[in-house]
Amino acid sequence: MKLSATLLLALMLLGLAGCRKDDDTTGPSVTILAPGAGAQLQIPGEVTVRAAVSDDRQVTTVRFTVLDPQGIPVVGSASVAVDAASADVERTLALNDEALRSGAYTIMVTAHDGSNESRAYRALTVVEAPLRLRAVYAVSAVGGQTAVLRIDSTGAAAPFATLDQDVRHAVFSTRSRALVIAGDVSGPVTALDAELGTVRWQLPNTNAFGSTFFTGLDRIDDDRLLIGRSDGELRAVAAFSGSGFFTALALDGRYPRRQAALGGRLLSEQPLVAGNGRRLVLYTAYTGELLAERPLDLVLAGFAALDDDRVLLFGERAGDGVVQELHVDLGGGWEPQALSGQAIRGVASAPGQVHYLATSTGLLRYSYSTNTVQSLIAGPALEVIGRDAVSGAVYIATTGQVQRVDPGSGAILQSWPLSGTAVALLPCYNREP
């Protein structure tokens, strides 16, 4: 009996040893054969990836993908069945999304043997697609509705959307392909798909009074928007989905009107709810934590960053246009320009610190480097302005029409009829400029 027990124990130990021998704990070998080191891809384009894989038993599948500089896949994973101990496997990956930016990307090849997986990587330098204008969206208020006119890159114009809501602001996110419209007294914040014109998301208007509710709508980077409300709320949301990043509050008795990002900070113009006083309030860019406040005596029309600490403020003081330079941390600065009787209502900036100003008396061009102002169009009061970053042409809205303007001479290059009161002129590109 004792011998039988000993024999049984020995057999069990042999069985366990056999099981351990069968355990597969080693992943396959993976070597990327092509492309070679220093590979480069111009978008849109394709890269052919070839890899050698092997395993002491069997490689079941191999997957190919490309990761952006943040490690996020930018193409769908291409999977290949192998079912062999070794093989050379090849797949062509297409990078056709023209929204992708230049940078250091990574090819990743993953091999599986049914129990384990191994990866190999190869650097890929991606060169972004040439910048192209797709369209300019002209948003206007028509009675109690919102109309959107789309002017394509050839100059052909057609109605794009009509919304049964009032409108106060509008911005465009090229990365998210979203046209975002904020209501005035009763309308919600509505995001439209820029290709289809369908509603992608909305935020309700909870106004209990007969005055403006959405006091501000600003795009602060490729995908984030800041939405200001008359109750003092300042909410950062994703242009693509409307999901929230953070919510900050204006100073007591004030509301957020116009916002911009500068060197990791958010700048917020905040007028008094009752009265004429204003402050420029600073928050952290990603959490909305209050940092500081500065005196402000302008009704702002726009911002332009000089560097991470200095900003140009464009606005109006007692009917005069003012260009003011401000060091946001130290609070000091000066006024390069005071434009008598020419209140600045809108700004479109170009490289080299050249800024096109929509004013109460026409269109001006201001060059910061020389501190000079040139009149391009005199006469009509302008409220809305945009700029094509590809051609440099400036778009303005006058009564009943949108005009495309030569940025050097001020000549009118093309005009389109526009219903209602213009709210925004928003260029759409194949990628972010």
Residue 396 lies in a domain: no
Residue 83 lies in a domain: yes
Same domain, 280 and 169: yes
Residue 301 lies in a domain: no
| Residue at a domain's end among 229, 262, 296 | 296
Same domain, 100 and 199: no
Residues 266/282, Cβ–Cβ less than 8 Å: yes
Q: Which ranges of the chain have pLDDT less than 70?
A: 1-22
Same domain, 123 and 241: no
pLDDT of residue 18: 46
Same domain, 178 and 268: yes
| Residue at a domain's end among 248, 270, 296 | 296
User: Which pTM was predicted?
Assistant: 0.87
| Residue at a domain's end among 281, 296, 311 | 296
pLDDT of residue 21: 43
Residue 91 lies in a domain: yes
pLDDT of residue 222: 81
| Domains: count for the chain | 2
Residue 276 lies in a domain: yes
Same domain, 281 and 171: yes
Residue 66 lies in a domain: yes
pLDDT of residue 177: 94
* Beta-sheet strands, E only, within 232-332: 233-238, 244-249, 258-262, 265-271, 278-284, 290-296, 299-305, 310-317, 320-327
Tokens (6 digits) for 149? 């006119």
Dump pLDDT digits (tens) for 249-267.
999 999 999 999 999 999 9
* Single-letter code of the amino acid located at 417: P
CATH number for the domain harbouring residue 55: 2.60.40.2550
Same domain, 188 and 283: yes
**Residue 189: which of 211, 207, 209 has the closest Cα?**
207
Same domain, 174 and 256: yes
Residue 257 lies in a domain: yes
* CB count in 10 Å sphere of residue 37: 7
Query: Is the preceding omega at residue 204 within 30 degrees of 0, hence cis?
Result: no
CATH number for the domain harbouring residue 274: 2.40.128.630
Residue 327 lies in a domain: no
Domain that holds residue 239: 165-296
Residues 122/95, Cβ–Cβ less than 8 Å: no
DSSP 99: T
pLDDT of residue 22: 60
- Separation between Cα atoms, residue 267 and residue 315, nearest integer Å: 15
Same domain, 169 and 285: yes
